[in-house]
């Protein structure tokens, strides 16, 4: 992701949601310090994604109908967006990567990590306390930010956990990316977040995540698919039963 292009989007996000560049940068600095002995070589993430078929699993309502099919998929890298890690672990599915700002179920984020999932941890102004409390308990971590990258902290683009996961796959040139549970409707999945204080704000954020995915689709070389009933411009709708169409 070209940083200058992303920062134009960040400026929009900052105006809409009232974010502080200073506070976001401070959070990124904290995460950089916390990851001093926990960060892994980004090549390990790259190896899981480059030229691979990747399943990005989000915690939307449709996810609950997809577990059996996910279990039957072969040769896919599985990336869970935050709370989706709980759903996968409960169904005996190990995510290869978890993209999270740590507001999902902490017990299952840690369980996924202990199972071997690489944690791609996002720092922003609202999760400083979560970073302090959870990062010391984790291993095999990569840090991300929505502002200027730092040592051990990357900016691949993206806003919500789900669309950041897709931006990650584009950064490292996945072959095909298939979205599961990425539902951009008015209903929030039960695995989406442990506590939602403002559902209207959550829906606005989801809508912004959709806009970012549609922007990404205009320039990425990755082939993009969506198994949800929601329509995302630039993503071809398929079902998990149709995965054999992927070349």
Residue-wise pLDDT tens digits, 173-184: 999 999 999 988
| Band of pLDDT at residue 192, cut at 50, 70 and 90 | low
* 41-133+158-245 to CATH, choices 3.40.50.10240, 3.60.70.12, 2.30.30.100, 3.20.20.70: 3.40.50.10240
Sheet architecture: strand order including 176-180: 153-154, 141-145, 118-123, 97-100, 76-81, 53-57, 176-180, 223-226, 236-237
Which comes out higher in pLDDT, residue 28 or 228? 28
pLDDT at 12 exceeding the cut of 90: yes
What pLDDT does residue 125 have? 93
Which comes out higher in pLDDT, residue 68 or 109? 109
Q: Are 80 and 97 in contact (CB under 8 A)?
A: yes
Determine the average pLDDT of the residues in 115-131: 97
Enumerate the domain spans of the chain: 41-133+158-245
What pLDDT does residue 73 have? 86
**Strand positions, DSSP E, 4-110:** 53-57, 76-81, 97-100
What are 95-107's pLDDT values in tens digits?
999 999 999 999 9
What pLDDT does residue 245 have? 67
Q: Are 169 and 122 in contact (CB under 8 A)?
A: no
Average pLDDT over the chain, rounded to an integer: 92
Q: Which residue has the tokens 């902290």?
A: 153
Determine the average pLDDT of the residues in 188-204: 68
Long-range contacts of 66-69 (CB under 8 A, 24+ apart): 66/180, 66/181, 66/227, 66/240, 67/91, 67/93, 69/240, 69/241
């Amino acid at each position: 992701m070209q940083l200058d292009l992303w920062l134009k989007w960040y400026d929009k996000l900052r105006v809409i949601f009232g974010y502080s560049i200073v506070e976001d940068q401070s959070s990124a600095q904290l995460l950089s310090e916390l990851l001093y002995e926990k960060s892994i070589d980004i090549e390990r993430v790259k190896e899981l994604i480059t030229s691979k078929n990747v399943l990005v699993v989000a915690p939307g309502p449709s996810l609950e109908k997809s577990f059996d099919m996910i279990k039957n998929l072969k040769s896919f890298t599985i990336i869970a967006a935050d709370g989706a890690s709980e759903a996968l672990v409960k169904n005996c599915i190990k995510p290869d990567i978890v993209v999270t700002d740590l507001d999902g179920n902490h017990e299952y984020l840690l369980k996924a990590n202990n199972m071997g999932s690489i944690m791609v941890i996002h720092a922003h102004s609202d999760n400083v306390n979560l970073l302090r409390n959870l990062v010391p308990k984790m291993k095999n971590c990569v840090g991300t930010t929505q502002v200027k990258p730092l040592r051990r902290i990357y900016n691949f683009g993206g806003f919500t956990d789900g669309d950041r996961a897709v931006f990650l796959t584009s950064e490292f040139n996945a072959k095909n990316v298939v979205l599961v549970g990425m539902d951009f409707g008015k209903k929030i999945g039960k695995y989406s977040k442990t506590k939602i204080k403002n559902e209207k704000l959550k829906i606005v954020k989801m809508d912004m995540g959709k806009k970012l995915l549609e922007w990404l689709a205009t320039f990425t070389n990755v082939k993009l698919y969506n198994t949800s009933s929601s329509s995302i411009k630039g993503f071809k709708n398929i079902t998990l039963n149709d995965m054999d169409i992927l070349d």
